Structure 1
Amino acid sequence: MPELPEVETSRRGIAPHILGKTFKAVEVREPRLRWPVSAEICAVLPGQTLRSVERRGKYLLLGAETGTLILHLGMSGNLRITAPDQLPGKHDHVDFVFADDTVLRFNDQRKFGAVLWTSADPLQHPLLAELGPEPLSAEFDAAYLQRRAGQRSACIKSLIMDSHIVVGVGNIYASESLFLAGVLPTRAAGSLQTAEFERLAAAIKTVLGKAIEQGGTTLRDFTNAEGKPGYFKQALAVYGRGGEPCRTCAEPVRHLKIGQRASYYCGRCQC
Structure 2
Amino acid sequence: MPELPEVETTCRGIAPYVQGQTIKALIVRQPRLRWPVPANLAEIITGQRIHQVSRRAKYLLMTVDTGTIVMHLGMSGSLRVLTSAPDAGAHDHVDFIFGDNSVLRLNDPRRFGAVLWTDAQVSEHALLKDLGPEPLSDSFSGKLLYDLSRKRKTPVKTFIMDSHVVVGVGNIYANEALFSAGILPTRLIGELSLTEYQALAEAIRVILLNAIKQGGTTLRNFVNEAGKPGYFKQELQVYGRAGLACVHCGVALVEIRLSNRSTVFCPHCQH
Please indicate the TM-score interval, normalised by the length of the shorter structure.
over 0.9
SS of equivalent to 1:212 = helix
Q: Deviations for 1:212-258, whole angstroms, at most 9, x for unmatched residues?
A: 00111112111000011110000001000000011111111110010
**What residue in structure 1 maps to residue 244 of structure 2?**
244
Matched, 1:269 2:264: no
How big is the shift at 1:83?
2.8
**What residue in structure 1 maps to residue 203 of structure 2?**
203
How many equivalent pairs are there? 271
**What residue in structure 2 maps to residue 39 of structure 1?**
39
**What residue in structure 2 maps to residue 257 of structure 1?**
257
Mapped to 1, the partners of 2:19 and 2:39 lie a distance apart of: 23
% identical aligned pairs: 54
The one-letter code of the counterpart of 1:254 is V
Contact 1:76 1:110 in 2 (8 A): yes
TM-score by length of 2: 0.99
* Unaligned stretches of 5+ residues in structure 1: none
How big is the shift at 1:22?
0.5
| 1:165-180 to 2 correspondences below 5 Å | 165-180=165-180
Which deviates more, 22-31 or 76-85? 76-85
Mapped to 1, the partners of 2:190 and 2:56 lie a distance apart of: 27
How big is the shift at 1:38?
1.3
SS of equivalent to 2:126 = coil
How big is the shift at 1:140?
0.2
TM-score by length of 1: 0.99
| 1:145-224 to 2 correspondences below 5 Å | 145-224=145-224
Q: Deviations for 1:72-119, whole angstroms, at most 9, x for unmatched residues?
A: 000000000113241111100000000001100001000001000110
Mapped to 2, the partners of 1:66 and 1:96 lie a distance apart of: 17
How big is the shift at 1:189?
0.6
The one-letter code of the counterpart of 1:178 is L
How big is the shift at 1:124?
0.4
How big is the shift at 1:60?
0.5
| 1:223-238 to 2 correspondences below 5 Å | 223-238=223-238
**What residue in structure 2 maps to residue 131 of structure 1?**
131
| 1:53-64 to 2 correspondences below 5 Å | 53-64=53-64
SS of equivalent to 2:226 = coil
**What residue in structure 2 maps to residue 110 of structure 1?**
110
Moved over 4 A (4+): none
Contact 1:18 1:102 in 2 (8 A): no
SS of equivalent to 2:159 = helix
**What residue in structure 2 maps to residue 25 of structure 1?**
25
Which deviates more, 213-222 or 131-140? 213-222
Contact 2:85 2:103 in 1 (8 A): no
The one-letter code of the counterpart of 1:103 is V
Which deviates more, 163-172 or 218-227? 218-227
